[in-house]
Amino acid sequence: MIVKAQDFLSFLIKCQKESLGGFRQVIVPRKSRNPEDNQQLFEEINDSTEPVLESYRTIDPLRALFYFSRETLLPADKGKKRLIVGAKGCDMAAFQILDKALINEDFVDPVYQAWREQTTIISTDCAEICDSCHCTLVGGKPYTDQNYDLNLSGVGQHYLITIGSQKGEELLKIMKEVVDLSLPQGDEIDKIKKNRDAVVVKLNEQNSRFSRSEDYSALRKSDIEGWIDDSKSCIGCGGCTNICPTCYCIIINDDSTGEEFIKVRSADSCQLHGYARVAGGDTPRPKMYQRFRNRYLCKFDYMKSNFDMIGCTGCGRCIDVCAGEIEFREVVQKNMQLPKVQE
């Protein structure tokens, strides 16, 4: 189905204001208010919001809306029914890791699961890219073909709507009652394919200088001197992990009061010194370069073993956020090319 961009926006505001579809919150990307800052971020929609639905990914990862920096696990926070619009391919790909990690046959994170179940996601194709975007370098795409409920692809002042799930189908029914939807004229599919291909070409051009093999086992074997050198400007702030769509490390704290046991989880970062420290003070990675290297191995090696997918979806946020101006793509490429040390 096709919807006018303007109609779609008024539908979103109606959802937010009148709890249409039972949604208690509608979240969209909007431009940063700092004119020097060429970024988008997620915000609850209101009358004055100007959503930026196509463009490229937000600076805050979608993960942070499903796995907040601090939540109560026992008794478990319940979440609320909401609609998130403007999710990008890189963020959607991260669900392949997060869902396996946090909702598996052994144990379920009750709060993450509640947010997943209560959220309807409308993803949108990327129409532009930013300097750090590199989804195609890690096998991703600037649009999604999985996990979405509805997907929007921009065609002029319209969106082509694709249904991805039962939830999406129900949402479309509600939309039909409020705004005019029309049938595609026939050439939209071609136009969308052209748009998508054009963005892929841009991404490939931008990232050709970072090209590398897909056999990331080389990283584990690379010379330690390379990591020491690359980590020199790292200040260990943990910004890269906090903003990563696939990082989900947490600590558990006890906030029990009286008779009730209360367990709270908070975000943690493997870049921080105390991360893996055990009682008695020993830590397996006391040096900054060890923690720096650990992040790369976790993404490209450990997560690959754990989830059959590398932990980088190419969003490039860690590059944008780095206080030490470390170019993630360059570090990966360089350490995969270093002479191998004897095993």
Partner 1 sequence: MAQTNPYKTFAAEIYEIIDESPTIRTIRVKPEKPIPFRTGQFIELTIPNIGEGPFTPSSSHHISDKMDVTIMKAGFVTEYVHKAKVGDRIGIRGPYGTCYPIDEWKGKDVLIMGGGVGMAPTRSLFLSLLQDIDNYNSITFLVGARTPNDMIYKQHIQGWRDIDKVNILRSVDRVPEGEEWNEEVCLITKLLSKINIKPEGNPVVVCGPPIMMKFGTMDLLKYGYADKDIYLSMEKKMYCGIGHCRHCVIGQYYACKDGPVFTYDKVKNEENIWE
Interaction site with partner 1 (CB under 8 A):
73-76, 101-102, 104, 106-110, 113-114, 117, 220, 248-257, 259, 261, 263, 265, 268, 270, 275-280, 282-285, 298, 301-302, 305-306
The alpha helices in 208-260, defined as continuous H runs, are: 217-221, 224-230, 239-242
50-65 per-residue burial string, b: 16 or more CB within 10 A, e: under 16:
ebbbbbbbbbbbbbbb
The 3-state DSSP composition of the chain as helix, strand, coil percent (nearest 5) reads 40, 20, 40
| CB closer to partner 1, 154 vs 226 | 226
Residue 248 token pair: 């989900």
Alpha-carbon gap, residue 230 to 134, rounded angstroms: 20
Q: Are 99 and 62 in contact (CB under 8 A)?
A: no
Q: Determine how β-strand 82-87 pairs with β-strand 25-31.
A: parallel
Nearest distance in Å: CB 236, partner 1: 17
State which residue, 198 or 251, has the beta carbon closest to partner 1: 251
Q: How far apart are CA 3 and CA 7, in angstroms?
A: 7
In this complex, which beta carbon is closest to partner 1, that of residue 151 or of residue 271?
Answer: 271
By C-beta, is 13 or 74 nearer to partner 1? 74
Q: Report how far residue 171's alpha carbon sits from residue 176's, in angstroms, rounded to the nearest whole number.
A: 9
> For residues 110 and 142, which CB has a smaller minimum distance to partner 1 in the complex?
110
Please give the structure tokens belonging to residue 71: 């939540």
SS3 71: strand
- CB of 149 vs partner 1, minimal distance in Å: 19
Minimum CB–partner distance for residue 231 and partner 1 (Å): 17
Which residue, 4 or 220, has its beta carbon nearer to partner 1? 220
Nearer to partner 1, 35 or 280 (CB): 280
Under a CB-based contact definition with an 8 Å cutoff, are residues 120 and 167 in contact? Answer: yes
**Whose CA is closest to 72, among 108, 110, 117?**
110
Distance (Å, whole) CA 339 – CA 173: 58
Q: Whole-number minimum distance, CB 256 to partner 1, in Å?
A: 4
What is the residue type of 161? I
